A and B are shown apart, each in its own frame.
Chain A
């Protein structure tokens, strides 16, 4: 690939792919076929747009962290395009793709950007919380990674009943089996980086958890906007009412996973007001 012939061949292929994407496709199957042959082109295109957006909004820096961030969102957009674009036929895939990405970028705060979230610890937390928005397994796993709880403890803390409890056990199992690894792959955390995180935590436990708490608040505040129609924060009295009356199961699961303050406010309500233990503090678990 290093020689000139190889390069020009790549360029030519690229041009052919792009021009094919500009033509009309008329069925969903044709859409799948054309698009699946052009994934690298489309990924680079979405990544390019994302880089440009970050540059224009003063959030860019020429380093690998920013490059990875742009890649991650590029791939996120591409995934949605692959699934949703099928229903848009007949269409010209390239234009549809461009307009989908542009739509994403026209939203206020399309992604959770914070320079500290680009370093390994921040990436880990951002990736985890972002995944919780789209995956219930990851949402439940947030309790595990934030406070070190097992399924039984999650059930007690959130005050769940029978059927919901069984689901929690399932969520835990799937997360351990595949969800965690998939999320790490998605955010591009390497084995070395993960090992480094673990050793940092062992060396400076308090500082590490303090930093994690600061960062997870940033991520939680951003991704809470995707909760079911934005469940607001509640006072302890309001939480108590919800727990004792037994309603708002979804509300409890979602919001408490995504809000450290409410977790502390609602602490002890699920296990009938036992306040013998201290309020939970963030104690990050890197592995499930």
Chain B
């Protein structure tokens, strides 16, 4: 095959697979769905007909979200907005995955919910829809954002404990007479006999059943967390409707004080009345939700403390070990050595404003070192490392949003390009 033909054949093949994207095959319906944030795998949603959810908190801005099967098929995705919320509902045969992504100045969060039944979806969708529609221009209460982190943190601890439990149980089950356990059995890989293989398979089957039991326990725990999430979603929705009602009422009152109603219709008092009623109802909802939430939080807090205590005693290294992933999504501290970081991480997140603002910049061709230094000095900044021509610069956080700030920088003569991430 010649150069041209070979290339053309390849091109046609690619086009063909693009035009008939393989859907989620029936056989893989029960398999977990892989979730990627910024093209990095962050976790998975159990696909076996139950409702599953994943909450991801990231210190970096979330740019893209992708859902894939175990085969790698791209099922759906979302491009996150620079700031604020975006939701997307992705239909996978009978299941629906609801994505809600939220970017703020200090990072982003994603919540992915797999909803098997439409009835449940409609409830969830309404809640999420309400939140998104109303909150699109507003950042949620910071306290709420922190409590979200607490929840994510608690989930990490729960996961650690459950993994510990599974292991303990298994060790006990597998090892009733103190014999070496299955996992620990010395097996020369290439010389496993057929009988051993059969035994192995049987053991695998047993193990799977036991795991299922543990899985059920885990599921019920997850449901608790799920309820809390839902409560919080409702709470922020109520928060918002109260806020908007207050604004409307205020406006109304101001207008009335300004002068006689010239162009208002006579229906106004009626709508005022309705609004007032709505407002009262919303406030009532809010109070109830608030109380429920603080109860939940108090309970979780307590649970948290017990768990941390257990963790500490159980193993010094437990916290560093269990899938670094969720912890590191909470904070970008890449070194393995920072043990016990989970607790510090949550704390350190509480004062993000005091951290310097960091960005990367390249300069126009022929810019002298002198003028670069001069420029950095004007910005009251400090130079950091240089990586592949990109100069790291730290400054006091700018008054304008990061993107606007970058735009401004890019407009400057000596600057060739600027970006936030390395």
Contacts and interface: CB of A to CB of B under 8 A. Distances in A.
Interface of A: 36, 39-40, 43, 64, 67-68, 71-72, 75, 78-80, 82-85, 87-88, 100, 103, 106, 108, 131, 133-138, 149, 152-153, 156-157, 159, 161-163, 165-167, 170-171, 174, 178-179, 182, 185-186, 188, 190, 225-232, 234, 238, 241-242, 245-248, 250-251, 254, 271-274, 276-277
A229 B329 contact: yes
B119 interface: no
Given A87-B77, A163-B211, A228-B41, A131 B72 contact: yes
Interface stretch (B63-71, B240-248, B408-416): B63-71
A271 B186 contact: yes
Interface hub of A43, A83, A152 (most chain B Cβ within 10 A): A83
Contacts of A167: 31, 70
A55 B165 CA distance: 55
11 contacts: A39-B19, A71-B11, A75-B17, A152-B200, A182-B71, A185-B17, A230-B40, A245-B315, A247-B167, A277-B188, A277-B189
Contacts of B188: 271, 274, 276-277
A150 to B, nearest CB: 9
Nearest to B327: A229
B183 A277 contact: no
B68 A134 contact: yes
A87 B88 contact: yes
A100 B64 CA distance: 10
Given A39-B15, A40-B15, A226-B39, 15 more contacts: A36-B19, A39-B18, A131-B72, A152-B192, A157-B189, A161-B166, A174-B71, A179-B72, A229-B325, A241-B321, A246-B163, A247-B160, A247-B164, A250-B323, A271-B187
Interface of B: 1, 3, 6-7, 10-11, 13-15, 17-19, 21, 28, 31, 34, 36, 39-43, 63-64, 66, 68-72, 74-79, 86, 88, 160, 163-164, 166-167, 170, 180, 183-190, 192, 197, 200, 204-212, 215, 315, 317-318, 321-325, 328-329, 334, 336, 387-388, 419, 422
A64 B7 contact: yes
A166 to B, nearest CB: 6
Nearest to A104: B39
Nearest to B422: A108
Contacts of B66: 80, 83-84
B74 A79 contact: yes
A186 B17 contact: yes
Contacts of A75: 14-15, 17-18
Contacts of A156: 187, 189
Given A138-B72, A178-B71, A272 B184 contact: yes
Contact of A84 (B79, B186, B323, B419): B79
A228 B325 contact: yes
Nearest to B159: A247
Nearest to A78: B18
Contacts of A273: 186
B324 A251 contact: yes
B323 A228 contact: yes
A226 B41 contact: yes
Contacts of A246: 163, 166-167, 170, 183
B204 A166 contact: yes
Contact of B77 (A84, A108, A186): A84
Contacts of B209: 162
Contact of B7 (A67, A84, A171, A234): A67
A170 B30 CA distance: 12
A179 to B, nearest CB: 6
Contacts of A188: 10, 13-14
A138 B56 CA distance: 25
A245 B321 contact: yes
A80 B68 CA distance: 11
B183 A161 contact: yes
Contacts of A277: 188-190
Contact of B18 (A64, A79, A159, A242): A79
Closest 4 CB pairs of A and B: A135-B72, A162-B207, A246-B167, A162-B208
B185 A272 contact: yes
Contact of B1 (A182, A190, A227, A229): A190
A42 to B, nearest CB: 9
A133 B36 CA distance: 10
Nearest to A157: B189
Given A39-B15, A67-B7, A232-B334, A80 B74 contact: yes
Contact of A163 (B86, B208, B419): B208
